[in-house]
Structure 1
Amino acid sequence: MDSSVVAGAGPVGRPGERATVRLRDGEPEEPPRYAPEWLRLREPADAAARALDLLDPLRIRLANLRDGTGTGALAVHDLGCGTGSMGRWLAPRLDGPQHWVLHDRDPYLLHFAAAASPRAAADGSGVTVETRRGDVARLTPDALAGASLVTASALLDVLTRAEVATLADACAGAGCPALLTLSVVGRVELTPADPLDAEITEAFNAHQRRGGLLGPDAVTVAGEAFAASGAAVRVRPSPWRLGPAEVTLTEQWLRGWVGAAVEERPELGDRAERYLRDRLAACAAGELRVVVHHTDLLALPRPTGGAS
């Protein structure tokens, strides 16, 4: 079995491929969390999964912000932007002019995200972008000065408790909402079921928590942190639902999921190899359905000046 995988990220990319988000300076080099090819492969599933009903309260808050500050562009900070999928999903769903600030540690991905960013909002207003290379785990309110909104996708679960607290404090200090999507919650449903499903899930979840990362606990911890900062927090499910139309994504996800589980618990080795072989065969035959559960979180800071 190929064990060169990273939790939740599909197979690691080719040698020399950079990570999408490298969160901590001064530590030994980590393998890539997300290869660019994986980000492109998962983008349609991400777009279909995100919780649309969080957008209405967000739009109301942003409209109130515009009413209080005039007609300038919304300043949207996209943390750990990767290839820019969050902007491509969200910018065309919000009205009015927008200026997106794309944050990532990888200059190649920043270039790709900027080049592929949308140019028009929902009402046809213009969308502009700029890029900032840096450590998203060390944000300060100053870094978010003037922000109308902070967004991120598949980021919370690769942060520590302290880093999530830093993020919540930065958003509170800037007085801006945060829409943080597609955090894993540690639940996977495969149909047909297999006796090894639960063991693989448990081992994968343990792998996600390595090094103090939050993994499946991320949304709970983030919700508590934002609430402690005075924000109103809403969470909604955002599951991937993978079937015959998503065979390539499902195959890559399976390899990463099982590989991470075996890395965490090597004693699963032979059984997991047979399990993966059988699952991949079922996937290729169009007989496998997978639901990978995620949660989206919207944090709305305490309104000021009578806004709601």
Structure 2
Amino acid sequence: MTAISTATAGWLALRAPADDDARSVDLARELARLITPTSQSAPLVLHDLGAGTGSMTRWLAPRLPGPQRWVLRDGDADIVAHLDLRTVVDGAGRPIAADVVVEHLASLPIDAFQGAAAVTASALLDVLTEAEAAHVVAACVAAGTPALFSLSVMGSVRLRPVEPADGVERALESAFNDHQRRDASGRRMLGPGAVALVAARFAAAGWNVRTAATPWRLAGRDTVLVDEWLDGWISAALEQRPDLVPAAAEYRERRLAQAAEGRLHVTVSHEDLLAWPR
């Protein structure tokens, strides 16, 4: 069981504003209600999985009580080298403390979250295997630690203007989702089924589960992100189904032209999940 990072610091920075706009404020507030500070001096310990450059911590820390100490876990040493938490504060305006652990999920101890106030992750569940997801759930349950997983891909995309009814766009969507569930070097990723599977695992353990739709809603002001997302979406689909290359070439040109003119609107479905013990 290994952790694979396909992200780059540049991509994470580009998507950060859309991520922050999409995340569920309601679930963050619910998590804050679930957290009870142990004292005024002892910091709350929070673990962020697949921490990347720290986007989840930057967004969530000010919405939670403190003081806080974050343990940022990621299997990619290169990506965490770009971690930036210099201006991050807790809900009372106090600077947070942070430790970095470069570690694959396979090495995550089952008792890793003992004593922690919460576990978080962003854009992670859909790139895990079933075994990896089960391992994370088991570690949360063993510690009785609430978990907030943000921005898991759900597989549905909607673009406007509406395309001709030639089926190209839906074929690309289907191929992309198959690509997300592909077997990559012996790892079959969960893809769009991740939230349902993880929710079921927590429910089977007797935990409460809440989910919230957290789509990206991209428009003319997001042209650079739209271009990068569209290119990646189509490229992944074509890797899965090379037979779509001729039709996709025309489709790509048409959509990129619309984006350049500020006419393209894109909705990319994601979902947040909060789980906590009864």
With structure 1 as the length reference, what TM-score do the two structures score? 0.84
Q: Following the alignment from structure 1 to structure 2, what is the Cα–Cα distance between the partners of residues 139 and 166?
A: 8
Secondary structure class of the residue paired with 2:65 = coil
Query: Are 2:12 and 1:24 equivalent residues in the alignment?
Result: no
1:208 aligns with 2:191: no
Q: Deviations over 1:174-231 (max 9, x none)?
A: 1111000000111001001224211110000000000121100000001001112222
Per the alignment, residue 224 of structure 2 pairs with 248
Contact 1:137 1:159 in 2 (8 A): no
- Indicate conservation of the 8 Å contact 1:119/1:127, yes or no: yes
- TM-superposed deviation, 1:126: 3.0
Unmatched segments (≥5 aa) in structure 1: 1-22, 303-308
- RMSD of aligned Cα (Å): 1.5
Equivalent residue number for residue 127 of structure 2: 158
Partner of 2:171: 199
Partner letter of residue 42 of structure 1?
Answer: R
- CA, structure 1 residues 53+215, in 2 after alignment: closer, same or farther (shift >3 Å)? same
2:68 corresponds to 1:98:
yes
Aligned to 2:246: 270
3-state SS, counterpart of residue 112 of structure 1:
coil
Q: Displacement of 1:137 after TM fit?
A: 4.7
Q: Could you tell me which residue of structure 2 aligns to residue 235 of structure 1?
A: 211
Structure 1 residue runs of 4 or more that deviate by more than 3 Å after TM superposition: 115-119
Q: Which residue of 1 aligns with 2:234?
A: 258
Q: Does 1:53 align with 2:22?
A: no
Distance across 2 between alignment mates of 1:70 and 1:127:
16
Any stretches of 5+ residues in structure 2 without a counterpart?
A: none
The whole-number CA distance in structure 2 between the counterparts of 1:117 and 1:225 is 36
- Note the alpha carbon deviations across 1:17-49, whole angstroms, 9 max, x for none: xxxxxx617xxxx7x511211111000000000
Whole-angstrom CA distance in 1 between matches of 2:86 and 2:120: 15
CA apart distance, 1:163? 1.2
Query: Whole-Å Cα distance in 1 between the matches of residues 85 and 109 of structure 2?
Result: 27
Q: Residue 217 of structure 1: which of 193, 210, 216 is its match?
A: 193
For residue 246 of structure 1, report the CA deviation from its aligned partner. 0.4
Say if 2:48 is the partner of 1:78: yes
Q: 1:100 to 1:122 in 2, by over 3 A?
A: same
CA distance in 1, matches of 2:76, 2:216: 26
Q: Decide whether the 8 Å contact of 1:137 with 1:167 is kept in 2.
A: no
User: Residue 188 of structure 1: which of 133, 153, 157 is its match?
Assistant: 157
Whole-Å separation in 2 of the counterparts to 1:279 and 1:227: 41
Checking the alignment, whether the CA contact within 8 Å between 1:243 and 1:289 is kept in structure 2 is: yes
Which secondary structure does the structure 2 equivalent of 1:164 belong to? helix
Q: Deviations over 1:156-181 (max 9, x none)?
A: 00011111111111001111110000
Contact 1:250 1:283 in 2 (8 A): yes
Report if the CA contact (8 A) 1:204-1:261 is conserved: yes
| Pairing partner for 1:122 from 91, 114, 120 | 91
User: Are 2:7 and 1:37 aligned?
Assistant: no
Distance, in Å, in 1 between the alignment partners of 2:71 and 2:87 is: 13
Cα contact 1:247–1:283 (8 A) shared by 2: yes
Determine the C-alpha separation between the residues in 1 that align with 2:107 and 2:191.
Answer: 19
Paired residues, what number?
A: 270
Indicate the percent of aligned positions where both proteins have the same amino acid. Answer: 46
Q: Is the 8 A contact 1:75 1:148 kept in 2?
A: yes
Shift of 1:117: 4.6
Letter in 2 for 1:80: G
Maintained 8 Å contact 2:207/2:276: yes
Distance in 1 of aligned mates of 2:243 and 2:54: 38
For 1:134-173, what aligned pairs fall within 5 Å after superposition? 134-173=103-142
Q: Secondary structure at the match of 1:143?
A: coil
